[in-house]
Amino acid sequence: MRINAMPRSIAFALLAATLCCGAAFAQDFRVKSLQVSSPFARATPPGARVAGAFMTIKNQGTETDRLVSASSPVAGLVEIHEMAMDGGMMKMRAIKGIDVKPGTAVELKPGGYHVMLEDLKQPLKEGDRIPVRLTFEKSGTVEVMVHVEAMGAAAHTH
Ligand SMILES: [Cu+2]
């Protein structure tokens, strides 16, 4: 079929479908009163065994909840980490959980809290979407899809 033989309405629909997908990854996931927004990670260099996953967790309920664990089929081990100053250097360490108070949002971001994917079974490639299960003390478990973005200038390494 010649393209200019296509009815205009179909041509516009195809164009809209092409344009839509830039924003399709800004995705929200919900469990009870919690909303997990736009989870992302960065592509890993060959041989890397770890990667951080980042997201915003908002609590629209009336009680404090707490992210207590996470797991993913792409990682042998998943921990909750924070970055903190230690003897004048930024270091990351495993923590028991992240509290999310009612009416607030906690941002997991490079240089701060993150979900650490360890013992990666394969490198994370730009454009991948990887499932990560988050478990909260009160709200239970939710599976989010983590969008893998281009490798960042700020590498995330141990
Ligand atoms: Cu870490």
Interstrand relation of 51-59 and 65-71 (parallel, antiparallel or unpaired): unpaired
Could you give the maximum distance between any two Cα atoms of the chain, in Å? Answer: 69
Q: Residue type for 123, please? A: P
CB atoms within 10 A of CB 29: 18
Question: Among residues 123, 55, 120, 116, which one has the least CA distance to residue 91?
Answer: 116
Question: Residues 10-47: pLDDT tens digits?
Answer: 555 555 544 444 445 568 999 999 999 999 999 999 88
Contact 31, 100 (CB under 8 A): no
Say how many Å lie between the CA of residue 57 and the centre of ligand 1.
Answer: 18
Say how many Å lie between the CA of residue 78 and the centre of ligand 1.
Answer: 9
Region 45-66: mean pLDDT is 96
- Predicted TM-score of the model (pTM): 0.80
Task: Annotate 59-79 with three-state secondary structure.
Answer: ECCCCCEEEEEEECCCEEEEE
Structure tokens given for 47: 């041989």
Say how many Å lie between the CA of residue 115 and the centre of ligand 1.
Answer: 7
Question: Residues 73-100: pLDDT tens digits?
Answer: 999 999 999 998 889 998 999 999 999 9
Question: Residues 133-158: pLDDT tens digits?
Answer: 999 999 999 999 999 999 874 544 44
Say how many Å lie between the CA of residue 85 and the centre of ligand 1.
Answer: 14
